[in-house]
Amino acid sequence: MKIENIEGFKDLQPKTKRWIKGICNQWQLDEHHKRLLVLAGASFDRALQAKSIVDAEGPVIEDRFGQKKNHPAVDVEKQASITFCRILREVGLDLTVAEDSRPGMNPGGY
């Protein structure tokens, strides 16, 4: 399946589309990996979108009681960035095998 035909690809930013097409040209990917790349691209675009809101409005807002709290876009940016990194790890485009970066279990299993 062509990457352009995967749902969500058309909604991505032009730079993100070029990035994904570049990866698809360099790597032979299964369809599920292409779908993951589109999701990664959407997460990347969402993180940038949230970042632009935070840049414009600031990272802290006041609630209705006058208390300062994180701007909701800060959390959106954080979650989208984490999602992007996790998806890329799942696709596994690294040439060298890195040690597993996922947190391990406690030896006692608790």
In a domain, 38, yes or no: yes
**Which pLDDT belongs to residue 56?**
97
Q: What is the pLDDT of residue 43?
A: 98
- Domain span holding position 44: 19-91
β-partners of residue 69 are 61
10-residue mean pLDDT series, the chain (110 residues): 92 97 93 96 98 97 96 98 96 67 61
pLDDT of residue 106: 64
With respect to residue 66, please indicate whether it lies within any of the assigned structural domains: yes
> Has residue 43 been placed in a domain?
yes
* Beta strands, E only, 3-108: 60-62, 68-70
Count of domains forming the chain:
1
In a domain, 41, yes or no: yes
What pLDDT score was predicted for residue 44? Answer: 98
pLDDT of residue 61: 96
Nearest to 46 by CA among 34, 54, 35, 58: 54
**Residue 92: predicted pLDDT:** 87
- State pTM to two decimals: 0.81
The answer to whether residue 10 sits within a structural domain is: no
Residue 30: phi, psi to the nearest 5? -75, 165
Domain annotation covers residue 12:
no
Burial pattern 41-70, b for ≥16 Cβ within 10 A else e, equals: bbbbbbbeebbeebeeeeeeeeeeeeeeee
**In the prediction, which pLDDT does 1 show?**
81
pLDDT of residue 24: 93
